[in-house]
Structure 1
C-alpha cells in the first residue's frame, strides 16, 4: 500500500505529515564570508582563555609579602609594578573568581563557533592543540617568568573584568573569604628565615653580585637566634670570674692584678664569691695612688667608683638583656639560678590587684641583695652578648697577650719534655717518673695551646703569623 508524504518548508524547518523536522545548517566554507568571522571569534576566544589562564598563574603566584618587599625594597621599575598590582592581589578571592569565570566563558564558547566551520574530528584536534599550546602552556610560561610586568600592564583589563562579572564573582569571593579566610600572605618562621639567609649567602651558584657575605649571614642568624638563647648560654662561669674582696686594699699588688686581667669592670664580693656587693669601674680608679692603699670598702661608699649590681635569672633571653644594657644601668650583670618560688609567692600575694607575675617591679628584681636571690652562677657582659650576635669571638689586646703567654708556656713545656726524653735514653729507670710527669704537664698545656691558637687564627682575615713573627712559633 503506497504511502504519500506531504512536506512543507516552514520558517523553523520542514513540516512532513504534521511532524516538524529541523534541517541542520550547512557547514561554512572558506568561500563564505561568515567563515572568517567565526574563525576570528574562535581565535579571539583562544587568546582570551590563554590570557586569563596566564594572569591567574602570574598574579596569584605573587603573595602579599613578596609584593610588599618589592614595593619598598625593589628596583624603581619593580616598585612601580608592585604598587599597581598590590590592590588587585589584596582582593585574592575576587581576583581568582573573576579570572576563572572569564577563562571558563571563553573555553566553553569555543566549540560553538568551531563547530560551524569544521567537522567534529578536526574540531576536537584543533581545540585540544590550540587550548593546550596557546591557552595554557605559552601564557602560563610567560606570566610565570614576567608576571610582575604583565600583571601591571594588564591591570586595567582586570579591573574591567571585575566590573563585568561583579554580580557573580563578588558573592562567590565573599563565600570563599568566610570559609578559607582572607589572609593569604606568607609568613616566615625563624627557622625558615635562617635557611633563606643561607640560600642568599656566598656560593649559592646564582651569580648574583648582591649575595650576602659570610659575616653578614652569621650576624643575621645570630640576631634570629638571640631570642631563643638564654643568659646561661653565654655567661662566664663564676669560678672563672676575676673579682676582688671588699676587705682588699688598692695597693701595688691589687692594682697589678687588675692591670694584668685588663677588665673595665670588676665585681666586688663580701665574705664569699657568691655575695657580690657592687661592680667597680676601673676608669674611675685612675687617680688613686697605690701608696695610699685605699680600702675597697671605702670606695663602695662613693657612688662615682662603683655601680649597683644587676641581677638576672639564668633563663633571661639575650634579646631582653640587650634592652637592659641599653638603659644605661650597666654593661655587666650577675647571672643567678631561676627562683621559681618567688614567682609563686608574688602570684599569691597579689591576687587582688594588677601587678606583674613576680609581684615586684623589674628594677627591684635587678637590685635584690644576694640573700634574696638564687645561687649565683656567673656573670655576663655586653661583649658576651655581642659575641653571640656576631657568632664570633671578640679578642682584644689583653686576650691576645694571654694567648701569647700560653703559647710560650707550652713551648717551654715541650722543650722540657724533649730534655727529659733525652736523659731517659741514658738512664731509663731514674727518668721514667720524670717522663710521665712531663708528658702529663705538656699534654695539659697543649690543650690550652690548641684552643687558644684556634680562637686566634679564626679571627684573623690575613695570612700573617699569629704573633706577628714566625720566630716565636719556631
Structure 2
C-alpha cells in the first residue's frame, strides 16, 4: 500500500501531512559576519561574568572596620579609595544581590550565543574553560590582591548596576537584612587586639612593612590589660612600705633614713602602721635643719609639707587610678580592703570586656574615700601603675644603689656561711677565717647604714626595693 507525503515549505518550517517540522538553523562559520558578532557577545559575557565575580570577592571581602581604619589612618591613596568604597559596602546585602544577579544573567546568556557558532562538545569545553579561567580564577585573584583600587575605580559601574536591578535587588536585600541583620562589621575584643598587636610585632626585617617594636608591643598590651588589673595587682605590701611615725623628729637619724630610701613621698602613721594620716613631700623638707629636730607632728600642721591621704579600694581598676592621679590630688594612694558590696561591684566591672578603654572614670565618693574605712593592705604610686603599663620595671638612681648594696651584703653573708661550714669539719684551721668573715660581714652592714637589719632579715632574690621599717619602731 503506497503512502503519499505532501510537504509545503513555510516561513515557520515545513508542513508535511498537517504536521509542522522546524528546520534547525545552520551553524555559523567564521566566513559569516554574524559569527564574529556572536563571538564578540560571548567574550563580552565572559568578561562581564568575571568582572562581577571579581567585584563580589573584592568588595565583600572588605570589612567595614578595615575601611574605616584605612579611611582615617591609611596612606593618601588608601584614604581616597576607602572614602569611595565605604558608601557601597555599607549596603552589604544590596551590593551582594546586585553583583550576583548581574553575574547570573551573564553566565546564563553564554550558551545562547555559543551554540550558534560551535557544536555541543566544543561548546562545553570552551564554556568550562572560559568561565573557570577568565570568569572566576583570574578576576578573583586580581580583585583579592587589588580589591581596594579596583573597587574604587569601578564604583560608578556598581552604582549603575544597582539602579538597573533595583526593582529586584532591593526587596531581596531588605529580606536578607531582616533575616541576617544589617551590621557586618568586625569588633575586636581585648584578647583579640593583643594577638593582633603580637602579629604586628618585630618581623624578620624583610619587606616594607612598618613593624611595631618590642617596647611598643609591650606598652600596647599593657594598656589593654589595665582594664582587668586592679590596685591589689600592682600595690606595694604595707609590710614593705617605708614610713615614719608622727611622733618622730626630723633629726640626723631620720633624715639619713629618708635620704637612703630616696622616696619623694613618705606616708606618716599614727600609733600603728595601718593608721596612715598624711603623706610628707620630701622636696619641702630641704630647708629643714637636722639640728633643730623638728617634730613630724608640727609639719602636719602646715599644708605645704604634706598632702592628704587618698584611700582607694583594692579592686579599683588601674585605668581609673590613672585618671585619679591626673586630677592633681596626688601620686600616691593608700590601698584598703574593699567592703563586700564594693568588691562584688568591682569584679562585675572587670568582667565587662566590651567597655572602651578610654571611657569616663567611675570615681565616686564611696569608691575613693578621704577617710579610712577598711584595713590598709598597701600603697600604690603612679610609678607602679606606669610599670604595669610599660610591662617593665622603672629603675632610678636610688634603686640601683640599693641593689648594689644588697648584692654586697648577700656576698658577705654567703662567705660567712661557707666559713661556718668549713669550721664544723676543721675547727682549728678555720677559726681565723671565721673572724675575718665576721669582720667582712660587719663592714658590709655598716656600709648599708640604717637599712642593714631589714635587708639581712629578708635574704631573698625577690626582696622588695622598699625596705621594711621595723627598725624605726
Q: What TM-score bracket applies, with the shorter chain setting the length?
A: 0.7 to 0.9
Task: Summarize the Cα distance change of 1:32–1:455 in structure 2 as closer, same or farther, 3 Å threshold.
Answer: farther
Task: Summarize the Cα distance change of 1:229–1:21 in structure 2 as closer, same or farther, 3 Å threshold.
Answer: same
Residue by residue over 1:310-343, the C-alpha shift from the partner in whole angstroms, topping out at 9 and shown as x without a partner, is 1111111101000000010110011111112578
Task: Summarize the Cα distance change of 1:325–1:211 in structure 2 as closer, same or farther, 3 Å threshold.
Answer: same
Question: 1:445 deviation in Å?
Answer: 12
Question: 1:301 deviation in Å?
Answer: 1.7
Q: Please report the TM-score for the alignment, with normalisation by the length of structure 2.
A: 0.85
Residue by residue over 1:230-261, the C-alpha shift from the partner in whole angstroms, topping out at 9 and shown as x without a partner, is 11010000000001111111111111111111
Find the aligned partners of 1:443 and 1:32 in 2 and give their Cα distance: 114
Question: 1:397 deviation in Å?
Answer: 0.6
Matched, 1:126 2:101: no
Paired residue secondary structure (2:276)? strand
For 2:253, the equivalent position in structure 1 comes to 253
Find the aligned partners of 1:76 and 1:63 in 2 and give their Cα distance: 19
Asked whether the 8 Å contact 2:267–2:276 carries over to 1, the reply is: yes
Question: 1:361 deviation in Å?
Answer: 13
Question: 1:282 deviation in Å?
Answer: 1.0
CA RMSD of the aligned region, Å?
7.8
Deviates more, 1:87-96 or 1:358-367: 358-367
Find the aligned partners of 1:370 and 1:286 in 2 and give their Cα distance: 28
Find the aligned partners of 1:122 and 1:359 in 2 and give their Cα distance: 66
Residue by residue over 1:124-148, the C-alpha shift from the partner in whole angstroms, topping out at 9 and shown as x without a partner, is 1111000000000000011111111
* Runs of at least 5 residues in structure 1 that lack an aligned partner in the other structure: none
What is the total number of aligned residue pairs between the two structures?
473
Asked whether the 8 Å contact 1:346–1:357 carries over to 2, the reply is: no
Find the aligned partners of 1:269 and 1:55 in 2 and give their Cα distance: 72
Task: Summarize the Cα distance change of 1:190–1:165 in structure 2 as closer, same or farther, 3 Å threshold.
Answer: same
Question: 1:11 deviation in Å?
Answer: 2.2
Paired residue secondary structure (1:456)? helix
Deviates more, 1:194-203 or 1:101-110: 194-203
Deviates more, 1:84-93 or 1:47-56: 84-93
Find the aligned partners of 2:203 and 2:351 in 1 and give their Cα distance: 58
Question: 1:411 deviation in Å?
Answer: 2.9
Find the aligned partners of 1:460 and 1:165 in 2 and give their Cα distance: 80
Question: 1:438 deviation in Å?
Answer: 9.1
Task: Summarize the Cα distance change of 1:444–1:149 in structure 2 as closer, same or farther, 3 Å threshold.
Answer: farther
Paired residue secondary structure (2:445)? helix
Residue by residue over 1:364-392, the C-alpha shift from the partner in whole angstroms, topping out at 9 and shown as x without a partner, is 74798898522111000000000000000
Question: 1:27 deviation in Å?
Answer: 1.3
Paired residue secondary structure (1:372)? coil
Task: Summarize the Cα distance change of 1:443–1:292 in structure 2 as closer, same or farther, 3 Å threshold.
Answer: closer
Paired residue secondary structure (1:472)? helix
Question: 1:208 deviation in Å?
Answer: 3.6
For 1:473, the equivalent position in structure 2 comes to 472
Deviates more, 1:248-257 or 1:120-129: 248-257
Question: 1:185 deviation in Å?
Answer: 1.3
Q: Which has the higher contact order (CA 8 A, sep 6+)?
A: 2
Asked whether the 8 Å contact 2:323–2:361 carries over to 1, the reply is: no
Task: Summarize the Cα distance change of 1:437–1:463 in structure 2 as closer, same or farther, 3 Å threshold.
Answer: closer
Paired residue secondary structure (1:338)? coil
Task: Summarize the Cα distance change of 1:238–1:448 in structure 2 as closer, same or farther, 3 Å threshold.
Answer: farther
Task: Summarize the Cα distance change of 1:470–1:450 in structure 2 as closer, same or farther, 3 Å threshold.
Answer: closer
* Runs of at least 5 residues in structure 2 that lack an aligned partner in the other structure: none
Asked whether the 8 Å contact 2:97–2:169 carries over to 1, the reply is: yes
Find the aligned partners of 1:350 and 1:385 in 2 and give their Cα distance: 17
Task: Summarize the Cα distance change of 1:252–1:342 in structure 2 as closer, same or farther, 3 Å threshold.
Answer: same
Asked whether the 8 Å contact 1:236–1:379 carries over to 2, the reply is: yes
